[in-house]
Chains A and B, each alone.
Chain A
Amino acid sequence: MTRQGPASVEFRNVSMRYGAVTAVDNVSFDIEAGKLVTLLGPSGCGKTTTLRMIAGLEIASAGQILIGGKDVTKLSAADRDVSMVFQSYALFPHMNVLENAAYGPIVKGLPKEKAREMALEKLALVGLKGFEKRLPSELSGGQQQRVAVARALVLEPQVLLFDEPLSNLDAKLRRRVREEIRELQQNLNLTVAYVTHDQEEALAVSDRIIVMSNARIAQEGAPRELYEQPVNAFVADFIGDANLLDVTIRSVAGDTAETALGPAILSLPARGLPPGPARIAIRPESLLIDGPAAGASLPGTVRKCTYLGNHQDIMVATELGELFVVRHGTHGMLAPGTPVTLGFAGSGVTLIPPA
C-alpha cells in the first residue's frame, strides 16, 4: 500500500440545504496539506455539517469540494480517502480493539495478516499496546478515544477529521489528549480538520482557525490573528472575552485613529475604518485596574470582585456601563464601592466596524 501523503482540502462556494433550512451557506476555504485547521463556532453554526461534507457523509447541495486537487463533490464516504474520529468514538461494540483498528484494511480486502500488522502498528503509536483483546466497553473514555484515533489512522488517509473529539473527556484529560493529537498530527504530517466549540482548544491545537457563525465563515486566520484582530463583534466575543462598546473615531491619520471612548481619548490602529461611529473590543485583561501613570483613563467604581485563584474577576461600573476586568497575580480583594481608575494596555484594544 503506497502512502498517498497529506492532501489539501478546498471548498468552492459550497452550500448545504435541508428543505428550507440552510446549514452551510456559500462557504469557501482552503486547508493546506499537512496543516491542522479548526472549524470553530457555537452549536448550530454549520461546522459539523462542513466536516461531514469533507467526509462524504453529507453530499453538498451546491458548490465544489476538492481533496488533493481532485473533485470529490459527488463521491460517497467510502470512495474518499478520508477518515473520521467521531464525537461518540463510534467504536464497534461487538469487535475488540484490534478488530476495530483492523476494520478499514479488512473491508478494503487486504489480507488478514497485513491488516493485523497495520492495526498493531497504529495501536502502538497511540500507546495501546497490550489492549488488543479488550472490548470497547472494557476501556476508559480516554482509551476508547485512542482506539478511535488509531482506527482512523490505519488507512493513512489523505485527510483526517475530528468531530469534537474531546467533548466526552474530563477537563484534565482534555488538555493532555489535545496535546497528543497535535503532536501526532505534526509528527505524521497529517492534514487534519478539527471541529470544536471550545475556543481555548481551538487556539491551542490549530495552525489556522475558521470561525463559523450562522452557516457562514465569520473569520479565518491564525489563532493569534483571530484573538488580536477580530474582524467583528461576534469573533471578538466568541474567541476570548471582550467588552464591546460604541465609540466615535474623531480623525484618522495614516494608520492611526483618534478615538473617543467616553472621556478617554485613545490612539488605535485604524484598520481601514473611516471617521465616525465604530465599535471597540477591549479584552478584560487589557483594562488595567490601577491605572497607568500617564495616558488615557476611565474612572469607575467596583461593583463586584470574585476571587479565582490566580486572578480576580472584577466588575467595574463606569459611565459607559459595566466593564469586565481581569486582574492577574495576587492582589488584595477590592470592596464594592471602591473608586478606581481604569487604564488601557498597549494590546487587546481593537476597533471593529459598527454593528
Chain B
Amino acid sequence: MRSATRLALLVGWLGYALIPWYLAEGMSLTGSGWLAGYPFGKAGTALALALSGAAPWLLPIGLVLLVATLLSGRESSPATGKILAWAGFAGLVLFFAQGFAVTLKGQGIPWLAALLGGAGTAQPGMGFGAFLTVLSLLLLLCHGLAYRGVCRGDLFTTSSIGIVVLLISLFIFLPVATILQSALVDSDGALALADFGERFLSPSIWGLGCLTANTNCGVAWNTLILAVLTGIITTLLGLACALLILRTGMPGKRAMRLLTVLPIITPPFVIGLALILLFGRSGLVSTVLFEWFGIPRSRWIYGLPGVLLAQVLAFAPIAFLVLIGVVQGIAPSLEEASQTLGAKRWTTFRTVTWPLLRPGLANSFLLGFVESMADFGNPLVLGGNFEVLSTKIFFAVVGAAHNQGQAAVLAIVLLGFTLAAFWAQQRWLGSKSYTTVTGKGDSGLPTPLPRRITWIAALVIVPWVALTAIIYIVILMGGFVKTMGRDYTPTLQHYITGFSVDLSRGLHFDGSAWPSFFTTLKLAAISAPLTALVGLLTAYLLTRQRFAGRGALEFATMLSFAIPGTVLGVAYILAFNVPPVEITGTGLILVIAFVFRNMPVGVRSGIAGLSQIDKSLDEASATLSARSFTTLWRVVLPLLRPALVAALVYSFVRSMTTVSAVIFLVSAEYNLATAYIVGRVEAGEFGLAIAYSSVLIVVMAIGISLIQLGVGERKLGRRSAPALATSAAEPVK
C-alpha cells in the first residue's frame, strides 16, 4: 500500500474515532461546553457511539476501515486494489445509507433504518468527523481503482475525479433532486401526482388573463416575455456598440471597455434602485417633469417597463462583450472579397457580414434571455404587481403562505426554461457557429460600416451610454444627499448610520452595516480560492484526462451553468434543512452556495486557459518522470495564472454581489451585504441602501486590483504571445 493510501486511512480513523461525528449545537473553537460528555453524547465520536450501542448503524463503517487497515501491509498490487476498492465502495454505501435512513423522527427511510438497527431513532446532521470519514472512504475507493490500473494507476487523478464527482452529486444533484421530490409529494411524504399536476398547470403560472380578460397573465408568461425582450434589446444594443467601436472611428474605446466591467462589480438590484431614484414617484426626473412641465407623477417604473429597463442596462454590457468578439472574428478578407467582386458597402454588410454575425447574435440573445430569467434583484425592487418566476419563488418560501411545494413547482418551471435555452445554445449553436478566423495570418482592413447603420447605431448607443453614466452618478452621489428627489441637502448621515466607527472605546464598528459587510467579505474571501480550486481541478480533469464517464461529468458541470440562483437557493434550503446534511443557518452553507454557484466561472476560465497550453508540455513532464500532481503543480498551474486570476476575481466579486441564491440562506448571524441592502430598500431607506451599494462597488474594484497584483502576470519572455494572456483573463460570462 502506498503511503498516500495509508494517510487516507489515517484520516478516516481520525474522523471515525477521535473527532465528534455530528455537527453539535453550540459548536465553537473557543468554548468547550459543547464537548461535554465526549467521546459520548452529542459530541461523541462514531467509534464510541457505535460500541456503546447509541448508534449501532455506525459500526459497519468502522468494520470497513478495519478491513482496509488489515491491507496496509500488503503491496499495492491489483489484487489489493480490488479489495480496497470494494471496501471503499461498501463503506460509502453504508455511510450514505445510514445518513439518509436515520434522520429525524418519522422521516428518513424507515425500512432501511430498521435494517441498520436504528428503527425509530433519530440522529442529528453529520459533522466534521463524518466528513473526514467519508473523504477517507472515497479516497480508499479511488486508490483501490488506481492500483487496478485505472487512469494509468495515478492516485491523484482518480482521487480528484472521485472528489469532484462526490461534490457535484452532493451539492448540485442532491438539491435539485430534492426540489423534484418535494414538488411531487404532499406534506405526508406520499406521492401526489394529481396535486403536482394541478399546481404545475395552475392559471397563476400559465394563465392568459391579460389577453382575454383584464387580469394579470400567468407568471411564466411574464417571465418569458421579459426574458425575450431583454434578450433582443441587449443583443441589439451590444451589436450596435460593437460595430461602432470596431468599424468606425468612434472615440472612447477604452471607456466602452470600462463599461463592460461595471455590471460585473455592480450588485444586480442597484440599477433598479437607481432607476427608482430617477423615475420613481418622487424621483429626480419625475419631479423635474412635474414641476417644469406639469406632467403628473406616475408609477410606470414599477412593472414590466421598469424591470425591462433595469435588466437592459444591467445585461447589455454582457452582450457587448460577446459580440465584440464575434465582430472581431469576422475575417476582413471575406468582406474585401465581396467588395472586389463589385458589392457596395451596404450589400457587403447585408450579404456577408450579417449572415456571419447571426450565430453570435443568437448566442448573445440566449445569454440575455437566461440572465433575465435568473435575475432576482431587479424584479424584486421594481416589479410591483408584475411578478416573475424568481420573485414568486422567493415569496412562496418567505412569504405568509410559506408554501415550499409551490416554490418547488415554480422552480421546476424556471429550471425548465433555462435548461431549454441552454440546450438550444449547446445543440443548435454548437453546430452552426462559423469560425472565420483561422490560424493563418489574415490581414486586411475591415470594411467601414455603411452610413445608415452608423447613424442608427449611434442614435441608440448615445442615450444608452448617457443613461448608464447618469445611473452610476446617482449611485455614487445618492448616498451623500438627504433624500433623493425631495431634499438635496448634502449629508454624510447615511454613511454614518451604516459605517460609523466609534474610536472612544478603542476600535468599535458600531455602524449598522458593518456586521453584514464583514460577513460578506469573510465568506467571499473563503469561497473564492475554494471555487478556483474546484473549478480549475474540474477543468483540468475534463481537458487533460481520459476516463470512463468523462462525458457524463462534463455534462453535469455544464448543466450546473444553467441553474438559476433562485432555484439553487430553494434547493439548498429544501435539501440541507434536515439531517444528514443539516447546515442551514450556518456560514458554511453560504460558502458552499457561493462555491457551487460560481463553479461554472472557474471551470470556464480553466478550460479556456488550459486549451491555450499545449498538451505536449504535460507529456514532456510525464516522460521526465513527473506524476500528474507534479505536472499540475510545476507546469500547468504556473501557466494557468491568468485563468486563476479570472476565477478568483469572478468568484470573489460574484459572491459579493449575488442576491438570488443567498437571500434564502442568510440568517441573523450570517447576514450578507446584498440581503441587508434589499432589506433597506424594502423598508424604504434608499439613502442607506445606495450608500452601502456604492461602498460595495468601490470595495470590489479594490479587491480586483489586489488579486491582480497578488497573483501577478505571467512572465514568458519578450516574445510572449499577448493573445494567450488576455483571452484567458478576459471575463468569461
A103: contacting residue among B624, B714, B717, B719, CB under 8 A: B624
Residues in chain B near residue A41, CB distance under 8 A: none
Bound state CA distance, A153 and B279, in angstroms? 73
Residues in chain B near residue A92, CB distance under 8 A: 617, 620-621, 635, 639
Bound state CA distance, A90 and B621, in angstroms? 9
B14-51 contacts to A, CB under 8 A, are: none
Bound state CA distance, A107 and B621, in angstroms? 9
Residues in chain B near residue A161, CB distance under 8 A: 623
Question: Is the CB of B152 closer than 8 A to any CB of chain A?
Answer: yes
Q: Are B716 and A107 in contact (CB under 8 A)?
A: no
Question: Is the CB of B470 closer than 8 A to any CB of chain A?
Answer: no
Q: B616-636, CB under 8 A of A: which get 1 and which 0?
A: 110111111111001000110
A94: contacting residue among B152, B625, B630, B639, CB under 8 A: B639
- Size class of the contact patch on chain B: 20 to 34
A137: contacting residue among B149, B622, B638, B717, CB under 8 A: B717
Question: Is the CB of A93 closer than 8 A to any CB of chain B?
Answer: yes
Q: Are A107 and B626 in contact (CB under 8 A)?
A: yes
B587-629 contacts to A, CB under 8 A, are: 614, 616-617, 619-627
Question: Is the CB of A279 closer than 8 A to any CB of chain B?
Answer: no
Q: Are B626 and A90 in contact (CB under 8 A)?
A: no
Q: Are B617 and A77 in contact (CB under 8 A)?
A: no
Binds B, one of A54-62, A264-272, A311-319: A54-62
Question: Is the CB of B153 closer than 8 A to any CB of chain A?
Answer: yes
B630: contacting residue among A77, A86, A90, A107, CB under 8 A: A107
Question: Is the CB of B718 closer than 8 A to any CB of chain A?
Answer: yes
Residues in chain A near residue B625, CB distance under 8 A: 77-79, 81, 104, 107-108, 155
B703: min CB distance to chain A, Å: 26
Known: A93-B716, A135-B717. A57 touches B623 (CB 8 A): yes
Q: Are A138 and B626 in contact (CB under 8 A)?
A: no
Question: Is the CB of A74 closer than 8 A to any CB of chain B?
Answer: yes
Residues in chain B near residue A91, CB distance under 8 A: 620
Q: Total interface residues on A, using CB and 8 Å?
A: 35
Question: Is the CB of A76 closer than 8 A to any CB of chain B?
Answer: yes
A67: min CB distance to chain B, Å: 13
Q: Are B719 and A138 in contact (CB under 8 A)?
A: yes
B714-733 contacts to A, CB under 8 A, are: 714-720
Q: Are A136 and B717 in contact (CB under 8 A)?
A: yes
A66-96 contacts to B, CB under 8 A, are: 74, 76-84, 86-88, 90-94
Q: Are B716 and A137 in contact (CB under 8 A)?
A: yes
Question: Is the CB of A151 closer than 8 A to any CB of chain B?
Answer: yes
B616: contacting residue among A77, A86, A94, CB under 8 A: A86
Residues in chain B near residue A77, CB distance under 8 A: 619, 622-623, 625
Residues in chain B near residue A136, CB distance under 8 A: 717
Residues in chain B near residue A55, CB distance under 8 A: 619, 623
B368-393 contacts to A, CB under 8 A, are: none
Question: Is the CB of B336 closer than 8 A to any CB of chain A?
Answer: no
A115: min CB distance to chain B, Å: 11
Residues in chain A near residue B714, CB distance under 8 A: 94
Question: Is the CB of B582 closer than 8 A to any CB of chain A?
Answer: no
B645: min CB distance to chain A, Å: 15
Q: Which B-chain residue is minimally distant from A105 (CB atoms)?
A: B624
A90: contacting residue among B614, B634, B718, B720, CB under 8 A: B614
Q: Are B715 and A94 in contact (CB under 8 A)?
A: yes
A190: min CB distance to chain B, Å: 15
Q: Are A107 and B634 in contact (CB under 8 A)?
A: yes
Q: Are A94 and B619 in contact (CB under 8 A)?
A: no
Bound state CA distance, A92 and B716, in angstroms? 9
Q: Are A76 and B154 in contact (CB under 8 A)?
A: yes
Bound state CA distance, A74 and B147, in angstroms? 12
B140-185 contacts to A, CB under 8 A, are: 149, 152-154
Q: Are B619 and A93 in contact (CB under 8 A)?
A: no
Bound state CA distance, A108 and B620, in angstroms? 14
Known: A84-B619, A90-B617, A138-B718. A78 touches B149 (CB 8 A): no
Residues in chain A near residue B627, CB distance under 8 A: 78
Bound state CA distance, A135 and B638, in angstroms? 15
Q: Are B154 and A151 in contact (CB under 8 A)?
A: no
A86: contacting residue among B619, B715, B719, CB under 8 A: B619
Residues in chain A near residue B624, CB distance under 8 A: 83, 103-104, 107, 151-152, 155
Bound state CA distance, A133 and B665, in angstroms? 53
Q: Are A78 and B716 in contact (CB under 8 A)?
A: no
Q: B692-723, CB under 8 A of A: which get 1 and which 0?
A: 00000000000000000000001111111000
Q: Interface centre among A59, A81, A90, A135, by most B CB within 10 Å?
A: A90
Known: A137-B718, A138-B718. A88 touches B614 (CB 8 A): yes
Q: Are B717 and A78 in contact (CB under 8 A)?
A: no
Q: Are B716 and A59 in contact (CB under 8 A)?
A: no
B638: contacting residue among A76, A94, A104, CB under 8 A: A94
Q: Are A76 and B153 in contact (CB under 8 A)?
A: yes
**B: which residues have CB within 8 A of A?**
149, 152-154, 614, 616-617, 619-627, 630, 634-635, 638-639, 714-720
23 residue pairs of the A-B complex, CB under 8 angstroms, read A56-B623, A74-B149, A74-B152, A74-B153, A76-B153, A76-B154, A76-B622, A77-B622, A79-B625, A82-B623, A86-B619, A93-B717, A94-B638, A103-B626, A103-B634, A104-B624, A107-B626, A107-B634, A138-B717, A152-B623, A152-B624, A155-B624, A161-B623
6 closest Cβ pairs, A-B complex: A137-B717, A135-B717, A90-B620, A77-B622, A104-B624, A90-B616
